[in-house]
C-alpha cells in the first residue's frame, strides 16, 4: 500500500483521490483487499445513540461524496462511514483547481463546493451496499439555493435518505458554499431546526440527527448552538468542519489559497471547540473530526469528549496504515 501511496502523491489531487478509491474498489471486487488490510483488531464494540459500532473510528464526509466506495472502505476496518455531502440536485462544484495538498505540512486546502451527483444517485448506492456497518449521510444545500429554498434543500435530502441511513448529518459549516455558515446564526439555526423537526415528524424519522459546525465560530455562537441543540430534537454535534484560517501554515504559497484548511493545523482548534462543547454540556452526543493524523490525536479527541472520531485528511495523506495504527492493540 505504501508504494501505491507514493505513486498517487505524484498525481493531481482530485485524480489521485478518484484513482486511489477506485483501486480500493477494484481490489475489493477481486476479493484481494483483505490481503492488504489488517482486520484482526481486538473487539472494541461501542454502543452510541442506539447504534452499535465495531469501533469508534470512522470516515468523515467528503471522502466518499456519492457512496461509490462504501463496501471497499468498510473492508478497511472502520467502525462506521459517513458519506456525502449530498444535495438535492447534482452539481459540479467550484471551478478547478480546487484541491491543494501540502504534504510537507500534513494539510489540505479544498474549495470543492459540494460537488456531487445528487441525492438520488447516492440513495441508489445506499440501497445496493453490502457493508453491514454503520453508515451516516451528510446532507447539504445546492449552491444556487438561498433563503427558504436552502432550508427546503435540507428537507428534500432528509426525506430521501432517512430510510437508508443509520444517522444523518446536517452540514451548515462548509466554507465553500456561499453564506452557508450564516446558518450558525441563532435565528437562522432555529428556523432550520424547526423545519427539520416538522419534516422529521411527518416522515416518522427515528434515527439520530447531528449538526456539523465550523471551527471558526466564537464561544457566544457555540453557546447558542449548544442551547439550540439541547432544546430540540437534534441528537448532537459534529465538531468540526475545515477552517478558513491559514495563520499556522508556513508555506507562503499555501497561505494565499482560498478554501477550507484540514489536516494537522486543524487539530488544535477543532479539539478546543470539541472540549468547549463537552464542558458546557456533559451529556451532549459528540463526534470529533479535524486533524487526526495519529493514534495520539485519536485519543486526544476522545479525551476532549468525543464519543466517535472521524478521519479524512489523515487517511488521504497517510493511507490505510493510519487505520491500523489507531486500532491496533
Residues acting as catalytic residues: 174
Please count the other Cβ atoms lying within 10 Å of the Cβ belonging to residue 198. 11
Residue 51 φ/ψ, nearest 5 degrees: -110, 150
Whole-number Å distance between alpha carbons of 210 and 139:
10
Helix 264-280 vs helix 295-304: angle between axes, to the nearest 10 degrees? 20
In the chain, which residue ranges form alpha helices assigned H by DSSP? Answer: 2-8, 13-29, 70-74, 119-128, 147-161, 186-202, 219-230, 252-255, 264-280, 295-304, 313-318, 321-327
Residue 81 φ/ψ, nearest 5 degrees: -130, 145
Coil, strand, or helix at residue 55?
Answer: coil
Residue 137 φ/ψ, nearest 5 degrees: -125, 125
Closest to 3 measured CA to CA, from 29, 40, 41, 36: 36
Contact at 8 Å (CB) between 21 and 35? no
Could you tell me which residues come within 8 angstroms of residue 249 by beta carbon, excluding any fewer than 6 positions away?
102, 105, 107, 255, 261, 265
Coil, strand, or helix at residue 85?
Answer: strand
Amino acid at each position: 500500500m505504501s508504494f501505491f501511496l507514493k505513486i498517487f502523491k505524484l498525481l493531481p489531487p482530485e485524480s489521485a483521490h478518484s484513482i486511489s478509491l477506485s483501486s480500493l474498489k477494484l481490489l475489493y471486487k477481486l476479493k484481494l483487499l483483505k490481503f492488504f488490510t489488517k482486520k484482526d483488531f481486538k473487539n472494541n464494540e461501542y454502543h452510541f445513540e442506539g447504534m452499535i459500532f465495531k469501533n469508534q473510528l470512522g470516515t468523515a464526509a467528503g471522502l466518499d461524496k456519492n457512496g461509490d466506495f462504501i463496501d471497499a472502505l468498510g473492508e478497511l476496518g472502520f467502525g462506521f462511514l459517513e458519506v456525502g455531502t449530498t444535495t438535492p440536485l447534482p452539481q459540479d462544484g467550484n471551478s478547478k483547481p480546487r484541491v491543494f495538498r501540502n504534504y510537507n505540512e500534513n494539510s489540505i486546502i479544498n474549495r470543492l463546493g459540494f460537488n456531487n451527483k445528487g441525492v438520488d444517485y447516492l440513495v441508489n448506492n445506499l440501497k445496493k451496499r453490502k457493508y453491514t456497518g454503520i453508515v451516516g449521510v451528510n446532507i447539504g444545500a445546492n449552491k444556487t439555493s438561498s433563503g427558504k429554498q436552502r432550508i427546503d434543500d435540507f428537507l428534500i435530502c432528509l426525506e430521501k435518505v432517512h430510510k437508508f441511513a443509520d444517522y444523518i448529518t446536517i452540514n451548515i459549516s462548509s466554507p465553500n458554499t456561499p453564506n452557508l455558515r450564516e446558518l450558525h446564526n441563532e435565528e437562522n439555526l432555529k428556523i432550520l431546526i424547526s423545519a427539520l423537526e416538522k419534516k422529521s415528524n411527518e416522515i416518522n424519522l427515528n434515527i439520530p440527527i447531528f449538526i456539523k459546525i465550523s471551527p471558526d465560530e466564537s464561544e457566544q455562537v457555540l453557546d447558542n448552538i449548544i442551547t439550540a441543540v439541547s432544546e430540540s430534537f437534534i441528537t448532537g454535534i459534529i465538531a468540526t468542519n475545515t477552517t478558513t484560517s491559514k495563520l499556522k501554515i508556513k508555506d507562503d504559497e499555501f497561505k494565499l489559497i482560498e478554501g477550507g484548511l484540514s489536516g494537522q493545523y486543524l487539530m488544535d482548534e477543532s479539539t478546543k471547540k470539541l472540549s468547549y462543547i463537552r464542558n458546557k454540556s456533559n451529556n451532549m452526543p459528540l463526534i470529533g473530526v479535524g486533524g487526526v493524523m495519529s493514534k495520539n490525536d485519536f485519543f486526544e479527541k476522545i479525551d476532549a469528549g468525543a464519543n466517535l472520531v472521524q478521519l479524512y485528511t489523515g487517511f488521504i495523506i497517510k493511507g490505510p496504515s493510519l487505520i491500523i495504527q489507531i486500532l491496533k492493540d
